[in-house]
Structure 1
Amino acid sequence: MRSTADRIRQALSFEIIGLLVVTPLFAWLFDHPIGDMGMLVLLGATAATTWNYLFNLAFDHALRWRRGDVRKTLPLRIVHAVLFEVTLLVILLPIFAWWLGLSLLAALVMELSFAGFYVAYAFVFTWAYDTLFPPQRSGQMT
């Protein structure tokens, strides 16, 4: 299991790199001012950072309970990335609609675009992070 400090480093680095890539890209794609998109992405990142920590902690607990090991196979990495993004989509959809003054349907299209980007990004980032900072194999919970 990962330590609390490691989980915080993982969540923060995930969000910071994501912000630097997605803000200008989506401001351009959806033709919104970068300031508006930046604030929206920052609000989303704050929610996502908190959710990232809680989701990864719960996912690791579930893996350890079901399999006795927190290491992820390729299929588990796919499930992990998709589940994270689906749950985050439910959390963020009303925020997107409200902030940009969009209908829920228009916000859903935008949010699905973000989710598509972040599913791929979460998969690559988590794999790279696990390679650079492998989880401990100890049965200790931290």
Structure 2
Amino acid sequence: MRSNKERLAQAGLLELGGILIVAPLSAMLTGHDLASMGSLAVVMSTLAVIWSTVWNWMFDRWVPTRQRNMLQRITQALGFELGLVLVTVFLVAAWLEIGLWQALLLDLGFVAFFLVWAMIFNPLFDAVMTRLLARKAARERKHPSPHSMR
């Protein structure tokens, strides 16, 4: 099981890495300046973290088990993405002064990017954490702390 500290680090690094990649990429693709796209990416990332917390809390109330079937997991993921797009498409349109259709397409591009980025980032994060935790456990076996001797 992950600690809250590890979950926070994973979410923070996922979002920070994504912002550092998506801001210049989206600026190049859309012709908008890096400052606009970077600040938009930060705001959208912040909203995604908040919405994820709210959505998963609600979904846990509707489906109160950790043993979810594939349909429940797909529903959870699609509900998150749909809710996020419904909120952010209007933000994107206003922020960049573009139409709703263009904003929807750009928003879906952000969603697709973060889906791929998460599929790359999460296994790398897990591999690094596994190594770090194994090293920590080995150090503790070699040099037990006074607290672990009780």
What TM-score comes out, normalization by structure 1 length? 0.70
Q: Does 1:15 align with 2:7?
A: no
Q: CA RMSD in A?
A: 3.3
The aligned counterpart of 1:124 is 120
Give the distance between the partners of 1:130 and 1:84, measured in 2 at CA: 23
| Aligned with residue 105 of structure 2, among 101, 109, 120 | 109
Provide structure 2 residue ranges, at least 5 long, that are not aligned to the other structure.
131-150
The aligned counterpart of 1:37 is 37
Corresponding residue pairs, total: 130
The aligned counterpart of 2:144 is none
Higher relative contact order (CA 8 A, sep 6+): 1
SS of residue matched to 1:67: coil
Q: 1:55 to 1:11 in 2, by over 3 A?
A: farther
The aligned counterpart of 2:26 is 26
| Aligned with residue 88 of structure 1, among 66, 84, 89 | 84
Percentage identity across paired residues of the two chains: 34
What's the CA shift for 1:13? 0.6
Provide structure 1 residue ranges, at least 5 long, that are not aligned to the other structure.
69-74, 135-142
Structure (1 or 2) with the larger CA radius of gyration: 2
Stretch moving more, 18-27 or 39-48: 39-48
Q: Is the 8 A contact 1:81 1:122 kept in 2?
A: no
Give the distance between the partners of 1:2 and 1:84, measured in 2 at CA: 22
The aligned counterpart of 2:143 is none
What's the CA shift for 1:79? 7.5
Give the distance between the partners of 1:48 and 1:124, measured in 2 at CA: 18
Higher fraction of helix: 2
What's the CA shift for 1:22? 0.6
